[in-house]
Structure 1
Amino acid sequence: MAHILYNAWDSLYKEPFGAVKIGHEVVWRIQIFPDENEEIHYVNLILTKDGEEDVPYALENLNHDGLYQVKLQIGTAGLYFYHFEIETSYGRSYLEKRQGGIAQQVSSQSDLLRFQLTCFDEEVPSPKWYRQGVIYQIFPDRFANGLPNGEVQGRKPNSFIYGTTADKPYYIRDKNNEIVRWDFYGGNLKGILKKLPYLEELGVTTIYLNPIFLSRSNHHYDTADFLKIDPMIGNEDDLKELITEMHKKNMHLILDGVFNHVGKESIYFNASGSYGKNVGAAQSKESPYYSWFDFIHYPDDYKSWWGIKDLPVIDKDNPEYQKFIYGDSNRSVLSKWNNFGIDGWRLDVADELPMNFLRGIRKNLDSHHKQVMIGEVWEDASNKIAYDERRQYTVGDNLTGVMGYPTRIFVMDLLESVKSSQDIKKYCNKYLQLQENYPRDFWLNTLNNIGTHDTQRIKTVLHNDDNKVIQAFRTLFNLPGVPCIYYGDEVGVEGDADPDNRRFFPWGQEKSSRIIQEVKKLVDRRKKNILLQEGRLGFVIARGSHCPALAIVRYDDQGNSVYNWLNLTQYKQIILPENCEYLCLPQNIQQKFQHELTLDSWEYKVI
């Protein structure tokens, strides 16, 4: 039986690498080494657009080195899958995808693991301030209070204020596990304004704020009024002042948009009637908001987000709701806050928002010259299926990028799950799959994190080991995408799952933190190195005496590169080039590592 080779990550076999723009030529080649008496009858590429029929394309024999080739131009955007079919005098076989870009020859076409090809309409470049910057995520109630003597403004009924900012967050729940009294510390926009010098010294260029609009809770994902800032957080003048001062410092602001659901005590739903008896969908079927919601048994049984009755889901296909959020270029929710001078949006639960809704948001943002539109998608956004629909996030007409939760998983795997070089290879190949599946700009626009308000704190995940936390930050800052620091992670704040991961910032601790000093160096280096902002990604895996070491390699098409070596253990490592394995790196970049390298305990070395 013929020996057949294909590697989607090697330019010998596929050009260009990864996703392609419509109308651009794609070249596929496979290499066949038949047995002495074996004849090749045909070689086909089987290409399938998602949801459509297979289409075979014959590969031409190039008559050298066993190479067969086909060239195609993809005419429509979308998701494509492919494999190869080869028939010889010995029978028929197939090439399917295995780990990394490498193909494996199999004899049956049942349950083939096919390669993916993403085809997009347009790239989605982002402004330099976004891609070349560093983001800092702030949970407004938990960062800083800028009022005199720490006064808490806009206190809410049936809530409580913590006695000190050192108190740990705690939920008071009833027998049905519903939160009955929300807890607050009193962080606000004035506090963020007051701490801008701290963020500037850290090197932060963009602040991403969790929701700031009127709501009942401390997290504000239960919006009560999209057009009002929650008085505990501040007012419109506070927001304007913050934006003005940030722009003076060449800093930018991204707001969190929560458009899938609202709070049951919102003006739109008004479950308890606090806005009046005839206001809101739950109070009157004559309400202008009634058609926004899906009632099963009016008024108490309704569709809610993940069954959480506090969060009624809105019908995003409702024309009036669409107009309210983005359709009116002057008076919509987006238009109001865009006109304040904010610089972009992060969209909560983007996979709950229909594609036409996302495109409507994109159109509104374009009209206000706002390019940054980041979606909360936890998985590979190129092939995500939500509610039985393949989502086309990467084709170029909606999201700029997504939250980089796979980056967090990758970092945790490296620092917590690696036992051998094969483990590292598995995790690196899985991560590199994103680079293959995403259009280049979309990939570089990913908002990467190692912690958010929805996850355990990175220091807690890594068992309070500062060495590991520092290596986690080093990994984050060397990967493609824009690094985002979750407030407090840079000073070693701990925290388990929500609400523990939302502690108040421990002001004073930043002066003695070993972690923050390393983060400042990483921020400064990333700002100065274009390869860390724009470069392609590959890995070098080396087998050390105790555990493999890893190099994160960033490079460009001109042959420039930087090797970022990480010792992931407490043991000294001696790295020999002959013991290295290279992933997704062209030959000219591989050749740049030719000498023995020594890494001390937890050392980070750039070559």
Structure 2
Amino acid sequence: MAKITYNSWLQEHKRPFGAVLVGTTIEFDLMIQTNHQVTVNIVLQFENGFKSYEKMTAISDGIFRMTLSNLTEIGYYNYYFQITEFDDTHEYRYFYGATEIGGGPGTTYVNEISVIPYTQTIFLKREEAPDWYRQAIFYQIFPDSFARKGHLENPKDNIFFYGKETDPPYYIREGNGDITHWTYYGGNIAGIIDKIPYLKLLGVTSLYFNPIFEARSSHRYDTSDYMKIDPVLGTEADFKQLVDTLHQHDMRLILDGVFSHVGRNSKYFDFDGKSGGQGAYQTTQSPYFDWFTFNQYPDDYKSWWGIKDLPTIDKTKESFQQYIYGESDSVLSKWNGLGIDGWRLDVADELPDDFIKGIRDTLENYPEQVLIGEVWEDASRKIAYEQHRKYIYGDALHAAMNYPFRDIIIGLVTSEMSPETAARKLMQLSENYPADVFLNNFNNIGTHDTERILTRLGENLTKLDLAVGLLMILPGVPTIYYGDEAGLIGHKDPENRAFFPWKNVNESTSKIYQKWIKIRQSAPVLITGNLSLFYSDRIFGLIR
């Protein structure tokens, strides 16, 4: 068997590197050392499963080349190499493909069915996000738990306020696990405005809010009315004051758009009949009736992951699309009109590509806005409901929440992942994503859906220092989850949503964040520079 050399990350084997704009010519060079006669095919596999075997040309001794300029399908192609070797009496056929880690140097396979293919991304157009976004250091605020100022309002039924801000978060449940009363700290917009000087001093330039729409719960992912701000948070005038104050401080704000589902006690569904009686559960004549899917009316309905408190919306319905982004008085028009700077789409997997594109098309009227999607996997390869999702190919999202990045960083600093594996996984993301999207990605080491980073690292400050450093110096837009810099700990929901410890900030963790934020802000190359990685058994290094 011949010695084969190919590395999808090196210019001597593939040009250009990584994802390419549609119509770009790509060259592949496979190097073979053998004393026998050989022929080589590159095997292209399209998204529909069709395979094409294309003969490569021997351009010199041991170098076989394929030049492709006809890859016009937006998405990604699989490819690998078929080698046929001849001696005087026999013909040997084998294959060369990627490894389980992904691209880069590959390995030889005897059976074609076992081959792990390389992948090649083809995108429609560049995603040049606004400059403010590329340069941003984001801070994610869970509005109920960050800061409170003024009188504590209680405008809702069946909610419970903690006695002290230091009380640990918990849910009040029935024996069957259903939550009977939602617990609140009472964080509000006035409190956030009051803490803008703190955020500026920390070095934060932009905020991402978890949902602020009227809802029953404190997490507010069960929207009651998209057009109203939750009364516990304050008024629309308070919100406008917040946006204006942020802009006066050269800060930006993006909101969480929860468009996959609503709360069952929302005005749109109205399970309990307390929202005007015009919800889909109350009457088939509801203007919102066709937004929902009833298997048997009214009690058997489609809900998000089977959670009956969250009826799923059919996003293909034109009336819903118009309500969210199509009309002059749509949800997007209302909040964009108040001056926000972008949106993060909750559970992007649940939103059809056409729906996301509709939102993006609307935002083209706001060129300084950004659109981010919640995607937990490599967004360039995401399969949801048996469809390859076209999130980051040029007419949908500017960026995705980079949870694979979090996994790599934590794996590296905890030694759960070797330096080689971490480097190769990062390079795989760099190869798969269009270069602009790789720089746009919304990087995090913790969010409202994960363990607190300090908890995940066993409260080891040395490991935290490394993790925060990597968050700030690797490509992408860094995001800090509120309170991480103050030393908050906690496992997953609800423990990771405790109130900010304003009277007990951990100075050691705070200094770690301040140090790395200053480093990022002092070095523009960390925003737009290229990435080179190196590693050994015990060393992980990078050059920007």
Query: Aligning the two structures, in what range does the TM-score lie when normalised by the shorter sequence?
Result: over 0.9
Partner of residue 67 from structure 1, selected from 57, 63, 67: 63
Determine whether 1:139 maps to 2:142: yes
Number of residue pairs the alignment of both structures matches: 537
Matched with 1:101 is 104
Determine whether 1:359 maps to 2:357: yes
CA deviations over 1:452-502 (Å, ceiling 9, x no partner): 111110111111222222221112112111110000000110111111100
Q: Distance in 2 between matches of 1:373 and 1:176?
A: 38
Q: Distance in 2 between matches of 1:70 and 1:528?
A: 44
Q: Distance in 2 between matches of 1:227 and 1:489?
A: 31
* 1:103 positional shift: 1.9
Matched with 1:549 is 539
Matched with 1:194 is 194
Secondary structure at 1:426 match in 2 = helix
- Please say if residues 418 and 424 of structure 1, whose CA atoms lie closer than 8 Å, have aligned partners that are also in contact: no
Matched with 2:172 is 172
Determine whether 1:464 maps to 2:459: yes
How is 1:166-315 mapped onto 2 (pairs within 5 angstroms)? Answer: 166-277=166-277, 279-315=278-314
Secondary structure at 1:155 match in 2 = coil
Matched with 1:485 is 480
Give the fraction of aligned pairs with identical amino acids, expressed as a percent.
45
* 1:76 positional shift: 2.9
- Please say if residues 423 and 534 of structure 2, whose CA atoms lie closer than 8 Å, have aligned partners that are also in contact: no
* 1:71 positional shift: 1.3
Secondary structure at 1:110 match in 2 = helix
Task: Provide structure 1 residue ranges, at least 5 long, that are not aligned to the other structure.
Answer: 555-607
Determine whether 1:335 maps to 2:330: no
CA deviations over 1:427-474 (Å, ceiling 9, x no partner): 321232111100011111111111111111011111122222222111
Matched with 1:580 is none
> What TM-score, normalized by structure 1, do the two folds share?
0.87
Partner of residue 87 from structure 1, selected from 78, 84, 108: 84
Partner of residue 447 from structure 1, selected from 434, 437, 442: 442
CA deviations over 1:388-443 (Å, ceiling 9, x no partner): 11101121110111001111111211122448xxx221232123211110001111
Q: Distance in 1 between matches of 2:134 and 2:276?
A: 46
Determine whether 1:537 maps to 2:531: yes
Q: What CA RMSD, in Å, does the superposition of the two structures yield over aligned residues? A: 1.3
Matched with 2:395 is 397
Task: Provide structure 2 residue ranges, at least 5 long, that are not aligned to the other structure.
Answer: none
Deviates most, 440-449 or 424-433: 424-433
- Please say if residues 146 and 193 of structure 1, whose CA atoms lie closer than 8 Å, have aligned partners that are also in contact: no
Matched with 1:597 is none
Aligned partner letter, 1:306:
W
* 1:276 positional shift: 3.0
Secondary structure at 1:51 match in 2 = coil
> What TM-score, normalized by structure 2, do the two folds share?
0.96
CA deviations over 1:31-66 (Å, ceiling 9, x no partner): 01112xx112x21111122114112222211114x2
Matched with 1:572 is none
Runs of 4+ with >3 A deviation: none
Q: Distance in 2 between matches of 1:4 and 1:479?
A: 32
- Pick 1 or 2: higher relative contact order, CA cutoff 8 A, min separation 6: 2
* 1:287 positional shift: 0.4
Partner of residue 47 from structure 2, selected from 39, 45, 50: 50
Residues 281 and 501 of structure 1: is their aligned pair in 2 closer, same or farther, counting only changes over 3 Å?
same
Matched with 1:416 is 414
How is 1:127-166 mapped onto 2 (pairs within 5 angstroms)? Answer: 127-147=130-150, 151-166=151-166
Aligned partner letter, 2:106:
A
CA deviations over 1:53-93 (Å, ceiling 9, x no partner): 112222211114x2111111122312111011121214212
Q: Distance in 2 between matches of 1:367 and 1:101?
A: 40
Aligned partner letter, 1:63:
S
Q: Distance in 2 between matches of 1:217 and 1:211?
A: 10
Matched with 2:514 is 520
Q: Distance in 2 between matches of 1:321 and 1:299?
A: 20
Q: Distance in 1 between matches of 2:471 and 2:59?
A: 43
Q: Distance in 2 between matches of 1:537 and 1:48?
A: 29
- Please say if residues 405 and 449 of structure 1, whose CA atoms lie closer than 8 Å, have aligned partners that are also in contact: yes
Secondary structure at 1:451 match in 2 = coil
* 1:9 positional shift: 0.7
Aligned partner letter, 1:39:
Q
